[in-house]
Chain A
Amino acid sequence: MIHAVFLIPLLPLVGFAVLAAFGRKLGNPLAGWIATGAVAASFIVTAIVFAGLFQLAPGHRSFTQTWWNWFSVDRLHVTAGALVDPLSMTMAAFVTGVSTLIHLYSIGYMEHDPQFPKFFVYLNLFVASMLLLVLGSNLVMTFLGWEGVGVCSYFLIAFWFDRPSAASAGKKAMIFNRIGDAGFLLAMFLTFERTGSLQYVTVFHRLGHVGVPSLTAIALLLFLGAAGKSAQLPLYPWLADAMEGPTPVSALIHAATMVTAGVYLMTRINPILHRAPDAAHVVAIIGVLTAFLGATIACAQTDIKKILAYSTISQLGYMFLAVGVGAYVAAIFLMLTHAFYKALLFLGAGSVIHAMNDEQNTKTMGGLRKLMPITAVTFLIAWFSIGGVPPFSGFWSKGEVLLNAYGYSTWLYALGALTALLTAYYLGRCYLLTFSGQARWVEARPAGDGHGVVGSAPPVESDTSNPNTPTERVVAHHGGAGGQEPLHPHDPSWVMSLPLVVLAVASVFGGLIDLPFHPNFVFLERWLSPVVGASLFNGHFSVATEWTFALVDAAIALIGVGLAFALWRGAVDRPAVEPTFLQRAWYIDWGYDRLLARTSTLFAGFLATVVESKVIDGAVNGVGTLFRSGGGVLRRVQTGYVRNYALGVMAGLVVLLAYLVSRAFT
């Protein structure tokens, strides 16, 4: 039964192949249903394998399935195969589960898109790649999936490729990821040099022979790759731009699954990190700094998807904080619960954007709660979840991360706790701006009255230099009265609502998979312990300490929620808490553009126009000129006469051949 594991990535891959070949014939919505079916089937197989693995004794829950020999030279053997263990199956289960829901949602969301079948071609390829990433039995297989998801992410960010912003965002994502990938490649070279293998099991087996400096280097190089994929400092800016993609893509790839690949990778190599404490330290610090940075930026964004994007960056930072302090179970726990509530947030945002006719600016929304009750309630649940309000799932998972961070360093805890407060606050702001207060858009009146009603607050003035202004297409699409077309917001159809409800339930109860306080309840920890060992610090705390921290966490969350209500209930603009430097994301992206992009463009231009044409080619042409002016005899056979040269060579060759042939017969 557990040997059916090869079907897990194969099913979506077959879906991809079928849709790539016949997608346009199958059309809308059949192509979407086939894609969803392929992923759902993969989820079922995953569940079966998962169950099969669960029935084995904990010590035997790991095996490698080899599919074929990918390439093999000397001692470098790279196989195509899967490493099946509790970690990879946990990942596979949540990837296929969340993917199925988002595929289903996409059937509704992409309903009117002329490229409907192609969307599912990419989506299925993405799922297959992601599964290869988490199941791969060696670093190169993981890299295969790693690049595969990167390429799909590029396709899907640039899905509406006639928009220059989308095309550029796709390219930007790919390039930032490639920088990280260079680190991944170098890590593989070093790993092979030091251990003679790239197979996880073999590498971990031989770590005893490898020096700490090498292990630190390997871990940090892989972390560079992880920072690219999971949008951590300094490679995070692409993720905010990635919001150009369709919203289900943001939910699936840029929130729930792909961006967590870095966390998975670092968890997978936990035996290396364990022996390289310096590297782990760096991971923890980068993680907490990214968490804080992302949260601060999210506080001042106005585009609903940008808020969620920076929130994702921040939450991923928490996961790396957990990995860095050795709390791998907490990292995976947070990854799972985050997948639920962040996918939920994005899908909710997608419903809102749909209802608002592609508007993404929260400042022009408001008052949607009564019109879109399902979306509003599920969004509220997600907010409480991510904010860490007990007993929602985020409370448990984030609490575990913070507790472990405290055991590692008070400073990391302090920054993490501050970020937790910001998290509860900025999503509150997002919720209140979107769903409560007065409508700041034009409502379509039921038949007869063509004018509609404008909400009380005036439309926000758009400042072209501000990256948070509503996207251009909104204006382009709706040239109606006063630039606003009457809207008729409502909850989406069942294919879009069902995933919202399922994810909301998961967001509420997700914490049950790893409750603290009693060893019998830490299901996830016991399940993962053969792979990651027990969390380092959890055991050191008394029950009293754990309760204290739980209360503090709850208080922080409630303060954040309260702050959001206090500041944003009924308010639309509060410049004091939306400073420009946060709206502009600390000017970091701007700095990258000025310092790196422009200087390197100038440098490339200098190479091409001066070095290449003047110096190198200049020398070549100079030699030519020298010869040409060098004498009468040469001049006659020079440039203009190259044709004769060529014929001369030909004639010479013919004569020579004739001579050789004649010699051969004498």
Chain B
Amino acid sequence: MSSPAFPYLTVLILVPAGAGILAAGLPGRSRLATKAIGWAGSLATLGFSIAMAVQFATRHGGFQMVSNHPWASSLGISWTLGVDGISLFLVLMTAILFPIALAASGERAGERSFVAWMMVLEAGCVGSFLSLDLIMFFLFFELTLVPVYFLMTGWGHERRGYAATKFFLYTLGASAFLLVGMLALVAIHAGQTGVTTFDIRALAHTRLSSATAIVLFLAFTAAFAVKAPIFPFHTWSPDAYRESPVAGSVVLAGVMAKLGTYGIIRFDLELFPRAVVDLAPVLITLGVIGIIYGGIVAAVQKDLKRLVAYSSLAHLGFIVVGAFALTGPALSGAVIQMVNHGIYTAALFLLIAMIYKRIGSFSTRDLSGIQHKAPVLAGIFTLTMLASIGVPGLNGFVGEFLILTGTWLTHRWWAVAATAGVVIAAIYLLWAYQQVFHGKPTAAEANFTEITWREGLFMAPLVAVIVFLGVYPGPVLSRITPSVDRLVTHIEQVAHPRIPPNGRPIYTAAKRTGSGGAK
């Protein structure tokens, strides 16, 4: 746990937060200054997160660059930040997506409140990924709701009022369970050790009875399941994704969905290993239902944004399955898939926004023959679509393959059902593609213009990441796996000697079945 002289993590939160406050407090209405603040804030965050990634030590499973400043010591709350292989690339992905979301927002990037909310949102997202203190996590986690609400109501589409209200109340309501669960856990821990702390590294050693662990697990998971979302807590998401402005959709699906799945991996798996082992079949089942149900419902959507929302439900299902399969490959796959999904879903929303900008519709009924008019845009859409389908050589495959292989080792039939999702993904995306891009252009598409240089510029990094992670994910995986191994070992030690319902000891079973010696 090296403590580098430079407090990267604190800076990563303060820079966007400061930019947000600066934009909000900017005297006058200079669009140029506002834009400059947005760009400077988001790009500086990107720069610092790249520096953090460079500093990050491989082959190290624990938290790095830990910042620990006692804050409200008597309450046990402290400013504790740390990064490990599980959060590293989520932070990096967040830092990549925010400048792109700003770039895609056009003139809005010159509006004071828009930039302020975006920057506050970035601080909230990064803070959530880096907090090791439960209270701090909760604050950041809740903080993200507010900017999204205002971004949605301020710059959203037709039914933004309904969508924003539903989103806000649903997620806020679920968070109440998280807050109660957190306080209960801390109280139990304080009772056992006499120390009041919200530091998850300490709380991970709390002894919990099986029933208590399950109750607390459910309280935590309620908040994460809504946030992700996991079936059947997803109905806010198609509305919210649909009615958000492009930046909102990108951040909601790309980054904030990961707050839910990250929460599961970071807090559920770390704090309640026994409950996780007990309830894994339930959660995996919900994940698998999400994969298949999301895919089928996506197949009949006429609205492109809603289609991507349901496809997101399916993809998050894969991540949930990977998280609860409790094997190294599946969990590593879930972590890298969080990044992959963030990248290609963001790309899809950006491309859909480009189409909307030209035609003024998200409906497949109003679109046709775009490939004639804009072959390059169509090409980028195709590549992104194939990544989302999970075609090898692009980033989606690596995550899905690891998840499914790892899940097969402990939960075979669930893996079989999840594999069906691979077929369904091809159906809905190809069908949508055919309607929108194939065929002859109609009068509506007569003036459809090709992707501009500016648009190409902010799509380029996403395309590069999609290809790079598909071909050479080694540098990413080698930083993820030590932390995943640490977590899996932790679960194994705590849950031992409990046997999961399907009769095999977790993880070790996976190791043993291979037999014949490692290659």
Contact = CB atoms under 8 A, between A and B. Distances in A.
B391 A151 contact: yes
Given A171-B434, A185-B419, A190 B408 contact: yes
A161 B328 contact: no
A646 B168 contact: yes
A179 interface: yes
A631 interface: no
Interface in B386-445: 386, 391-393, 398, 401-402, 404-406, 408-409, 415-416, 419-420, 422-423, 426-427, 430-431, 434, 437-440
A660 B77 contact: yes
Interface residues of A, number: 74
A26 interface: no
Interface string B331-344: 01100000000000
Contacts of A75: 511, 514, 518-519
A118 B379 CA distance: 11
A71 B393 contact: no
Given A175-B426, A642-B165, A168 B419 contact: no
Nearest to B173: A623
Interface stretch (B55-63, B213-221, B294-302): B294-302
B422 A195 contact: no
Contacts of A551: none
A174 B69 contact: no
Given A605-B300, A646-B168, A653-B142, A192 B405 contact: yes
Interface residues of B, number: 88
B150 interface: yes
User: What is the predominant secondary structure among interface residues of chain A facing chain B?
Assistant: helix
B329 interface: yes
Given A162-B439, A178-B423, A646 B150 contact: yes
B172 to A, nearest CB: 7
Interface string A477-518: 000000000000000000000000000000000000000000
A193 B431 contact: no
B451 to A, nearest CB: 14
B200 interface: no
A241 to B, nearest CB: 14
Contacts, number: 205
Contact of A72 (B386, B422, B427, B474): B474
Contact of A616 (B235, B332, B426): B235
A418 interface: no
Contact of B145 (A185, A196, A646, A656): A646
Which of B145, B332, B398, B519 has the most chain A CB atoms closer than 10 A to its own CB?
B519
Contact of B514 (A140, A193, A643, A659): A193
A77 interface: yes
B405 A164 contact: no
B113 interface: no
Interface in A151-185: 151, 154, 158, 161-162, 164, 167-168, 170-171, 174-175, 178-179, 181-182, 185
Nearest to B423: A178
B422 A181 contact: yes
A266 B153 CA distance: 57
A361 interface: no
Top 3 closest pairs, chain A to chain B, by CB: A196-B514, A167-B438, A189-B408
Interface of B: 69-75, 77, 79, 139, 142-143, 145-146, 149-150, 153, 164-166, 168-170, 172, 232, 234-236, 293, 296-297, 299-301, 327-329, 332-333, 369, 371-372, 375, 386, 391-393, 398, 401-402, 404-406, 408-409, 415-416, 419-420, 422-423, 426-427, 430-431, 434, 437-440, 471-474, 477-478, 481, 484-485, 510-511, 513-519
Interface of A: 68-77, 118, 140, 143-144, 147-148, 151, 154, 158, 161-162, 164, 167-168, 170-171, 174-175, 178-179, 181-182, 185-186, 188-190, 192-197, 199, 202, 206, 209, 601, 603-605, 607-608, 612, 616-617, 620, 624, 639, 642-643, 645-647, 649-650, 653, 656-657, 659-661, 663-664
28 contacts: A68-B474, A70-B472, A73-B406, A151-B386, A154-B430, A162-B369, A162-B372, A174-B426, A175-B430, A181-B422, A182-B423, A192-B514, A197-B514, A197-B519, A209-B515, A605-B300, A607-B300, A608-B300, A624-B166, A642-B164, A642-B165, A645-B168, A645-B169, A646-B150, A649-B142, A649-B143, A660-B71, A664-B72
